[in-house]
Amino acid sequence: MASSSSVSEVSLTCSICLDVFTDPVTTSCGHNFCMVCIRSHRDRSPCSRCPLCGKALDSKQDFNINRIIKEIAEGIKRKRVEEKSEVSCDSCPKKKMRTAIKSCLHCATSFCESHLEPHKTAEKLMKHKLINPVKNLEEYICKNHERPLDLYCRDDQTAICQFCTESDHKTHNTVPLEKESLKLLMNKKIAVQQKVQDRFRKIKEIKHSLRFNKQAKEKETDENIKFFKDVFDRSNAELLELTEKKHKETERRGEKLIRELDEEIVELKRRQTELEKLSHPMDFTQIISLLRDPKYTNRSKNISFSTLEHGGILRKTISHLQSVLDEKMRETVGRDLRSIKHYAVDVTLDPDTAHPELMLSDDGKTVWNTGKSQNIPDTPKRFNYCSCVLGKEGFSSQKFYYEVQVSGMDWDLGVAKESIDRKGDIGLNPENGYWTIWLRKWTEYAANDRLPVPLTLKEKPVKVGVFVDFEQGLVSFYDVEARYHIYSFTGQSFPEKLYPYFSPGECEQGQNSHPLIITPVDPVE
């Protein structure tokens, strides 16, 4: 979690606009938002829900500004303005101090326009590294050699100066910092996105645990009363009190973790917004700040079910709840699959769209990569760069479902809209018209959202089910054999036909020639 000072600011951040509250109001479920943000969110849908806890919002609630929270939020805004005060020129006399326009990393000094002039005319000074003015200039200079941090050590993942390559980093892989900046930015974005998904998953797990904790409490209380019906009242009362105490402790700790995770999600989303605002190429100060800022390091709590344990009293309860949860989730997904299978469709592969290296079976149900290009016409419908193929049938309304047997080290699977660009390299994400998951290097699974979302699967899928609901804007993937939900794209828009999408991956020197096979959907039991 963040430090106490940043936590207080996180608590005063609206999870809709991701900024400090303006006219904060409190919903009936106890969460705070900007008045304009929550009203707009509520009015967009007749059945809108709280963005944090998912509870239905009261459409008749007349929001009133929380004056106490408003005062604190306005104080934070004032503090932000003060922290962004201008950098003064170090060469100006104190009585006539002017604003600096550049800071020199070689001189370790900030200069106004007048005092910067020698750096524009003197040959030696013209070689100095100038950056946008900063107060904490020492953070951009090597502490060992007093030279600009203009290189990046990939081995130690840190910024270094030129002289560092002749000492501690002599045998390391180093590159210019600006060259590494785009990779750094993308890695930070992916890491933050992964953390957001992880926190949402943990909240869902804890809520499941608390719900089953309540059920276990009711069942355990009934069983204890029945078992001790013939025992004198005092023993029965003590047992019931212990049962009540351990379940309340579980609920208290679970609710506390949910609040902490809610705060962390708000902070992570704000980091996402900050990262999106960074331009590329980034200036030197942005690169160093991104590299060193502890907000983007992996320092958050590893919150898990073990955190809910409280000595011997809770350990058995949580262990029992976890096993119940796993089984209940399988039962739930099993029921979902039985329901979804009613929408099974007959999918066959379209040879007119297949990349020249792909081979299709005569029945149009199997595709694999031969690694050798066939002499076939390059029609407008055909993929000519990426080894993929579409289904022959397109769907434009209601719901549909199909299953695919997967194997090998690489594959892609999902749906694509009709108007996708089929020539050249393609970007697998919803913005380009693709809703897919993939496997890379045998074990690396990911959902291809705006940024790839790494997936941690309990088992290696053998058969994947793909379900689309046009009305709900939903694309879901399931491990059919394990009865496990893999990932869902939600809140999507499908203005045109969708086609099943398949890629058995690239085939190099005979590697990864495993096929994708469209299999019949088992009858609904």
Specify whether the CB–CB gap between 23 and 73 falls below 8 A: no
In whole angstroms, give the CA distance from residue 176 to residue 109: 23
- Residue type at position 16: I
Question: Do 364 and 509 sit in the same domain of this protein?
Answer: yes
Q: Cis link prior to 377 (omega < 30° from 0)?
A: no
Report pLDDT digits (tens) over 279-336: 556 666 667 766 666 554 444 444 444 444 333 333 454 555 445 545 655 676 787 8
Does one domain contain both 372 and 480? Answer: yes
Structure tokens at 248: 């309340």
The number of helices, as runs of H, and strands, as runs of E, in the chain is 8, 21
Number of domains in the chain: 3
Which has more pLDDT, 502 or 507?
502
CA distances from 21 to 65, 263, 503 (A): 11, 14, 46
Residue 461 in this model has a pLDDT that exceeds 90:
yes
Q: In this structure, what CATH number is given to the domain that contains residue 56?
A: 3.30.40.10
- Say if residue 255 is in the same domain as residue 364: no
Task: Give the mean pLDDT of 22-48.
Answer: 85
Bigger pLDDT: 227 or 485?
485
Same domain as 365, residue 512: yes
Contact 5, 76 (CB under 8 A): no
502, 398: one domain: yes
282 with 398, same domain: the answer is no
pLDDT reported for residue 245? 67
Tell me: the pLDDT tens digits for 206-231? 777 777 666 655 655 554 444 344 34
Q: Domain of 432?
A: 358-519
Q: What angle do CA 106, 111, 117 make, to 5 degrees?
A: 90
Residue 485 falls inside a structural domain: yes
Average pLDDT, stretch 127-150?
84
Residue 2 lies in a domain: no
Which residue in 192, 188, 204 sits closest to 262, CA to CA? 204
* pLDDT value of residue 246: 64
* 288 & 363 share domain: no
Task: Among 31, 61, 83, identify where a domain stops.
Answer: 83
Q: Which of 2-11, 226-235, 242-251 has the lowest mean pLDDT?
A: 226-235
Mean pLDDT computed over 397-419: 94
**Position 96 in a domain:** no
* Within-domain flag for 97: no
CATH value at residue 504: 2.60.120.920
Q: Are residues 367 and 491 in the same domain?
A: yes
Per-residue pLDDT reduced to its tens digit, 157-168: 888 888 999 888
Cα–Cα distance, 53 to 49 (Å, whole number): 8
Q: Are residues 386 and 258 in the same domain?
A: no
* 365 and 265 co-located in one domain: no
Single residue among 53, 83, 113 that ends a domain in this structure: 83
The number of CA neighbours under 13 Å toward the Cβ of 407 is 12
In a domain, 251, yes or no: yes
The token duo for 66 is 């929380």
pLDDT in tens, 62-93: 888 998 888 888 888 877 766 555 788 989 98
Of residues 139 and 339, more confidence is placed in 339
- Residues 395 and 490 occupy one common structural domain: yes
Tokens linked to 101: 């326009």
Tell me, yes or no, whether 257 and 365 share the same domain. Answer: no
Q: Among 63, 83, 103, give the residue marking a domain's end.
A: 83
- Identify whether 245 is part of a domain: yes
Within-domain flag for 299:
no
| Distance of alpha carbon 208 from alpha carbon 189, whole angstroms | 29
Confidence of residue 366 (pLDDT cuts 50, 70, 90): very high
CB atoms within 10 A of CB 301: 13
Look at residue 310 in the predicted model and tell me its pLDDT.
34
Residue 49 lies in a domain: yes
The continuous run of DSSP H or E covering 192 comes out as helix 177-227
